[in-house]
Amino acid sequence: MTPAVLIVLDALVPAATRARLVGMIEAAAPTARLIVPETPAGALDQAAPAAVAAGWTLPDGLVERMPRLRWIHAFTAGVDHFVGLPGVRDGRVVLTRTVGAHTAMPEHVMALVLAFSRRLHVDIRRQAAHRWDRPAGIGGEVRGQVLGILGLGQIGRALAAQAAAFGMRVIGAKRTPDPVPHVERVFPPDRMDEVLREADFVVALLPATPATRGVLGEREFRLMRPTAVFINVARGTILQEPALLRALREGWIAGAGLDVFDAEPLPPDHPLYAFEQVIITPHVAGVTPQFFDRVAGVFCENLRRYAAGEPLQHVVDVSRGY
């Protein structure tokens, strides 16, 4: 099989990395015709011959211009931007996702946990203001603290191992509550409240699906301890943002570490920027220089399989959304 393959690369990808990724893809399927536009508009203009499309997102209207499209590969673990595309929902187009590339995400979460525990977010602001305020810099210890993980998939399991290495107790919730290494107790989704009540740090790793949209609202934030910190590295859509803002303003929770948002980029006048007890990162929890190579590696193996007529890996169950 000699498919035409459209690769839509994000602006986040540095030029040198872009060239290396294209070289890896060419080596995986040397007979394929690669189409790598420089811009989203270029993707729309050049898409028609392609039977395969891959990217972090696809420009609006792109799929409608691809009459030969048979397979879409998401360079992301979450596929909420892809499951509603024409052809995907009805099964005419196979959707696969990237699994195993986001190995830095647990480290990002632990960095946030440690920063809040040691109150580094307070000290950094004091430093910027040229203020020596020693009591403000005295934090606690994570050893013995409870980390609650909402979503114990591959990333959640890796996070549990790292948290346990710091001496934390780990509890969590997942769709099928079978035992997970390093996790003391695993609850089904209908008992998520127990995680919220007990955890000192609540980490959201839920997939973005219709069932999880807005699942964290006023009721859930009120269940959390007033000393607890909420961390979201999943998707902004899983929480009700007004409820989070109220929780921060009224002290239902002690703080929040946020990497994902309903609107991205987060507008400069957004009220979240004003909270001293909030740490904001621009959707980079899983991104490192090595990340891009791992993303390309997952896609290249599937492209090799596609060209050879073999079954694809990491096919998305569209009815579940992951």
Q: Which of helix, strand or coil describes residue 34?
A: strand
Structure tokens belonging to residue 13: 């990808």
Report how far residue 112's alpha carbon sits from residue 292's, in angstroms, rounded to the nearest whole number. 23
From 222, 283, 304, 305, active-site residue = 283
Whether the CB-CB separation of 283 and 267 falls below 8 Å is answered with no
Q: Strands, E, within the chain: which ranges?
A: 4-8, 33-35, 52-55, 71-74, 94-96, 146-150, 169-173, 185-187, 201-204, 229-232, 255-258, 278-280
Superfamily grouping for domain 105-280? NAD(P)-binding Rossmann-like Domain (3.40.50.720)
**pLDDT value at residue 137:** 67
**pLDDT value at residue 138:** 75
Average pLDDT per consecutive 10 residues, the chain (322 residues; last block may be shorter): 82 79 88 88 92 93 95 93 91 94 96 97 92 80 98 96 98 94 97 98 94 96 98 97 98 98 95 97 92 92 92 93 84
Please provide residue 245's backbone torsions phi and psi, each rounded to the nearest 5 degrees: -60, -45
**216 C-beta neighbours (distance < 10 Å), count:** 26
> Is 283 an active-site residue?
yes
**pLDDT value at residue 136:** 63
> Is 264 an active-site residue?
yes
Report how far residue 98's alpha carbon sits from residue 232's, in angstroms, rounded to the nearest whole number. 20
Structure tokens belonging to residue 94: 């196979």
Same fold flag, 4-101+288-308 and 105-280: yes
**Mean of the per-residue pLDDT values of the chain:** 93
Q: Which residues contact 255 (CB under 8 A, 6 or more apart)?
A: 116, 121, 229, 230, 248, 275, 277, 278, 279
What pTM was computed for the model? 0.90
Whether the CB-CB separation of 296 and 182 falls below 8 Å is answered with no
Classify domain 4-101+288-308 at the CATH topology level. Answer: Rossmann fold (3.40.50)
From 64, 141, 264, 276, active-site residue = 264
> Which sequence spans correspond to the domains of the chain?
4-101+288-308, 105-280
**pLDDT value at residue 41:** 84
> Is 270 an active-site residue?
no
Distances (CA, A) of 252 to 114, 223, 237, 300: 21, 8, 20, 46
Task: Render pLDDT for 137-167 as a digit per residue (tens, 0 to 9).
Answer: 678 999 999 999 999 999 999 999 999 999 9
